[in-house]
């Protein structure tokens, strides 16, 4: 069994918590960390933009990663939300077992 961390950003705390709580409740992720007050600088439609955002880190199994990405996109207000995933190669085996036990099979 493989494991993933999925990273996304949200426009505000309400959206970040909606994503976090929905995915935990639906058992698509075992845990969501919401980190406030990140400043983002990016190019959008030819202009450099500056916005405060919230970071959301989601822990899940590799088997569920595609569903998590799709669900985040459904819940998100952005036209093109940042939703990226990376493999967890090492970790506390008991924590990784817990991720598996708290997500749908």
d(CA 93, CA 22): 26
Asked if residues 61 and 6 have their Cβ atoms less than 8 Å apart, the reply is: no
Residue-level pLDDT at 12: 97
Instruction: Assess whether pLDDT exceeds 90 at residue 4.
Output: yes
Residue 34 belongs to domain spanning:
3-90
- Let me know if residue 13 belongs to a domain: yes
Instruction: Assess whether pLDDT exceeds 80 at residue 105.
Output: no
Indicate which CATH number applies to the domain containing 62.
Answer: 3.30.70.120
Per the structure, the count of domains in the chain is 1
Residue-level pLDDT at 1: 79
- Mean pLDDT, residues 67-93: 97
- Mean pLDDT, residues 19-44: 97
- Mean pLDDT, residues 32-57: 97
- Mean pLDDT, residues 58-75: 98
């Amino acid at each position: 069994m493989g494991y993933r961390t999925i990273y996304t950003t949200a426009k505000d705390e309400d959206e970040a918590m909606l994503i976090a709580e929905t995915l935990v409740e639906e058992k698509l992720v075992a845990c969501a960390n919401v980190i406030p007050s990140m400043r983002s600088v990016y190019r959008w439609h030819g202009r450099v933009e500056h916005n405060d955002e919230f970071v959301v880190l989601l822990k899940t199994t590799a088997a569920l990663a595609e569903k998590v990405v799709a669900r985040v996109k459904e819940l998100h207000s952005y036209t093109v939300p940042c939703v990226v995933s990376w493999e967890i190669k090492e970790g506390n085996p008991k924590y990784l077992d817990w991720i598996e036990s708290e997500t749908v099979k």
